[in-house]
Structures are given as structure tokens and as C-alpha cells.
Amino acid sequence: MSQFNILVVEDEEAIRQMLVLVLEQAGFAVLAADSAAEAQNALYKTLPDLIVLDWMMPVTSGVEWVRRLKKDALYQEIPVILLTARGEEEDKIKGLEVGADDYMTKPFSPKELIARIRAVLRRAGKISATDIITLGDLQLDIGQHRFSIDQRQVEISPTEFRMVQFFISHPDKVFSRSQLLDQIWGRSVFIEERTIDVHIRRLRKILDEYGRGDLLQTVRGFGYKFSLTDATVVANTTH
């Protein structure tokens, strides 16, 4: 998974489960809600990078909820893609006028949905056009979920991928355990802060196999940082 969190709001359970599966397979971290009220509660815990929202829901419709979100300074910048069975042009215009960033008519192709999500994230400035982040000879391809060091592909877990993405996106900055927990795992995930130390050791061991273990540094009394400046990078010729 990438660092991008998607909130899926859909009242039909079968469609909601399908969306969660499709998005997770595409590398996103997914939160799911079956109503606008439940979605609003989810927002109190963590701000998603994008919302996939069903138009027709009981009590509060998707369109009405978008209208409310766009009036709130805290949420108005979150991109929204509306999903609906309503395919008339005036419906599409209405959805876009209330603040939705894109609109898809059911039934839709999962591949098209993923493509539209990435396009909206690019327009929102959340990912680059190439989805590639580099730091020194480290390269992270978000779209392909690949991490390489000195052009050699590195096998890492989804959690380690998110950690690498966060660290190389914020080089030379020190983060406490609680900050890493919020930024990488999200506030809705309940794990012990010391568990982060275990993940850090695993990631450092992987980096060390490529002579890059010194990149991930412990800052005593505070937390961790990822730095090329202070690291002693040693080429490893065994890979």
C-alpha cells in the first residue's frame, strides 16, 4: 500500500466490499463507511487523501454531504469522486457544482476508477505525474509499488513501503514515535508506540543488506530521521 488513504462511503455492502478490495489491491489504505454520519465520524479520526462517495444514500445523500464538506475549511480541500447510477448530464453537472472533483456512473470498470483516483490525486498535487520519488540512489515507484536501491529492486512489505515513502518524502527531519504512528499508520490504528521500533529495526536490516542501513538514524530521546547528509553510505557488491 501507498501512504494514500481513501475513504469509501457506500451504503450497499456488496459494492462497498468490492471497492475496498479493489482499492487495497491497487495499493491504497482504505477506510469504509456505510453512511454520511459514519463517514463524518471517520473524518474526526483521520483525514483521507480522497473520498469515493455514493450519491444515493439514505438520510443524508452523497451530494448533500459533499456540499457540507466543501463549506468546512478543515475538509474542503479533500478531493471527492462521486459514484452513482444517475447518468444524465444534469446530474453530473449538479455533482460537480456542489464540489465533487470527478463523477463515475455505475456500473464502472475498477481499472478506470483507479485511473481516475490517481488523476484526481495528481490534480490535487498529492502525487507527481510520474508517481516516482527519488532520494540519492533510492527510488520509489508509487504506481508500480516498487522500491529500488542503486537500480536493484528491494522486496519489502506494505508497511515497510509506507515507511520508506514517508521517510524519503521528508528527509533530514526528526520524527517522534507518535508522529510516525499518526503519519504512517493513521490515528485510527491502535498499536503500541514501541511497536514502531520493531518496524524500524526490520527496515534498517533491509537497508543494511544494500549498504544503506545508516540512512535510517535513531535520534536519542526523540525518535528517528532519514538522512543522506549524515549517513556513511557503503556500496554493497554482493547483490
Task: Give the pLDDT of residue 3.
Answer: 60
Instruction: Convert the pLDDT of each residue in 135-150 to its tens digit.
Output: 888 988 877 788 999 8
Rounded to two decimals, the pTM is 0.55
> SS3 sequence, 100-160?
CCEEEECCCCHHHHHHHHHHHHHHCCCCCCCCEEEECCEEEECCCCEEEECCEEECCCHHH
> pLDDT means per 10 residues in the chain (239 residues)?
79 92 86 93 89 89 88 88 75 73 84 86 70 83 84 89 87 87 70 84 94 91 83 37
User: What is the torsional sign of CA 112, 113, 118, 124?
Assistant: positive
Task: Give the pLDDT of residue 80.
Answer: 93
**Inter-residue contact 167 to 216 (CB < 8 Å):** yes
Instruction: Convert the pLDDT of each residue in 85-122 to its tens digit.
Output: 766 666 667 667 778 888 888 888 888 888 888 888 87
Domains located in the chain, CATH noted: 5-123 (3.40.50.2300), 132-226 (1.10.10.10)
